[in-house]
């Protein structure tokens, strides 16, 4: 029997993460101590009250039916959270839709709005799920570079007129992955004006909105005047509440857009396990308490890694938020070769910048998922690379 993948599968290259891990395991077998800074998977467990509530709910025989959509309690908690934290009013019945983690929502959203050949404005570098969703929809990406000169924000004024006229969707991520640039009201105001001018749907990925280390929290896109008329915001409980494995997130914003996503979702899945939804609602209702402790920990880690890499001669993208550090290493090697060399010589696992786009050449992404002591060790090890 000859088994062949579809032609579309050629657009989905195997991720390098497993290859990096396998190579790292080989070095570990040789006696190398590993420090894994690759995946942004929180190493801190969820708050005790969340774990306790999950334990209680999973023991109930009534917890195991289909939920079909987000339960009312979850949708209500999302709206309360947005009102308290962002000053944004949302209608739970029409302006909230639950997704199975942000990855699922990000990959499927272009399918709901884009036809083959439609242009989607995205960034270079960018989180890998954006390209996956664009390719799944058969749309065409137009990459906006994230440059140091522009504060690592995409320059909407640099988008050619003919591209803007044809664009259907704009994807933003602030604070970002892999580049943790921060948004501002002024920038989002420009985004709303741009979207109105060219009739473009905006999707803002706010997965790291609770990861800020100085000053006020990053502004929500939906807090910008007129934003709800042009777009949506997706947010996840994976990072902010250490609930990555539960796979729960939500999209909020324009009611008509939410309705279209709900229609697509009704054909894809039967909802998330109810105990997870109940725990997520509890987390959102106690967000200020839960996220404050996480922010303190990640703030210390962020400073340790930023300062440490700078001292050994690396060029680090300025940031005061996010879960990652985006850094240019001082070696004349492509990013993939350098990442493997770093593992072989130091045991420090990082993600090559080109995983996130061609503009990532010469950079690596480091996740703040180890203790301060481990991060200090990682910096000392990286200093020894020949």
Set out the domains of the chain in order of their start, with CATH numbers.
Answer: 7-45+290-382 (3.90.1150.10), 48-288 (3.40.640.10)
For 151-182, write each residue's pLDDT tens digit.
Answer: 999 999 999 999 999 999 999 999 999 999 99
Q: How confident is the model at residue 316 (pLDDT cuts 50, 70, 90)?
A: very high
**pTM given for the model:** 0.95
Closest by Cα among 14, 18, 15 to 349: 18
d(CA 178, CA 156): 19
**Which pLDDT does position 141 carry in this prediction?**
98
Give the residue ranges of DSSP H helices in the chain: 17-29, 48-58, 72-86, 101-113, 128-137, 161-166, 185-198, 227-230, 255-265, 274-285, 287-311, 335-346, 372-382
Average model confidence (pLDDT) across the chain: 96
Opening angle at CA 226, ends 223 and 229, nearest 5:
110
For 80-100, write each residue's pLDDT tens digit.
Answer: 999 999 999 999 999 999 999
Under DSSP, the state recorded for 181 is P
What's the whole-number mean pLDDT along residues 130-143?
Answer: 97
Q: Using alpha carbons, list the distances in angstroms from residue 130 to 27, 80, 112, 191.
A: 32, 28, 14, 18
d(CA 96, CA 352): 35
For 67-82, write each residue's pLDDT tens digit.
Answer: 999 999 999 999 999 9
List CB contacts of 7: < 8 A, sequence separation 6 or more: none
List CB contacts of 306: < 8 A, sequence separation 6 or more: 316, 319, 325
Q: How confident is the model at residue 217 (pLDDT cuts 50, 70, 90)?
A: confident
Using left for φ > 0, alpha for ψ between -120 and 50, and beta otherwise, residue 99 falls in: beta
């Amino acid at each position: 029997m000859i088994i062949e993948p579809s032609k579309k599968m050629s657009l989905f290259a195997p991720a390098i993460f497993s290859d990096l891990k396998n190579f790292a395991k080989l070095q570990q077998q040789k006696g190398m101590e590993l420090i894994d800074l690759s995946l942004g998977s929180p190493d801190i467990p969820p708050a005790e009250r969340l774990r306790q509530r999950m334990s209680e709910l999973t023991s109930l025989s009534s917890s195991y039916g289909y939920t079909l959509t987000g339960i009312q309690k979850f949708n209500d908690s999302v709206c309360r959270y947005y009102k308290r934290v962002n000053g944004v009013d949302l209608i739970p019945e029409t302006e909230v839709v639950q997704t199975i983690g942000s990855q699922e929502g990000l990959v499927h959203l272009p399918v709901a709005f884009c036809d083959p050949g439609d242009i989607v404005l995205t960034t270079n570098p960018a989180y890998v799920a954006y390209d996956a969703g664009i390719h799944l929809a058969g749309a065409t990406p137009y990459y906006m570079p994230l440059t140091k000169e522009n504060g690592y924000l995409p320059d909407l004024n640099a988008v050619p007129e003919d591209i803007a006229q044809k664009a259907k969707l704009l994807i933003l991520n602030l604070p970002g992955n892999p580049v943790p640039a921060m948004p501002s009201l002024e920038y989002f105001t420009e985004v709303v004006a741009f979207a109105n001018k060219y009739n473009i749907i905006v999707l803002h990925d706010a997965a790291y909105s609770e990861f800020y280390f100085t000053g006020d929290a990053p502004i929500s896109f939906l807090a910008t005047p007129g934003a709800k008329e042009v777009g949506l915001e997706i947010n996840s409980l994976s990072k902010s509440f250490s609930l990555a494995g539960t796979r729960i997130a939500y999209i909020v914003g324009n009611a008509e857009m939410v309705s279209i996503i709900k229609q697509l979702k009704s054909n894809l899945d039967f909802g998330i396990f109810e105990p997870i939804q109940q725990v997520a609602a509890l987390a959102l209702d106690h967000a200020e308490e839960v996220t404050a402790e996480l922010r303190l920990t990640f703030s210390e880690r962020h400073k340790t890694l930023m300062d440490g890499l700078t001292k050994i001669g690396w060029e680090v993208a300025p940031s005061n938020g996010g879960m990652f550090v985006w850094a240019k290493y001082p070696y004349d090697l492509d990013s993939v070769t350098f990442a493997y060399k770093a593992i072989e010589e130091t045991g420090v696992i990082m993600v090559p910048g080109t995983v996130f786009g061609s503009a990532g050449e010469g950079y690596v992404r480091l996740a703040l998922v180890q203790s301060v002591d481990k991060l200090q060790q990682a910096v000392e090890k990286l200093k020894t690379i020949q």
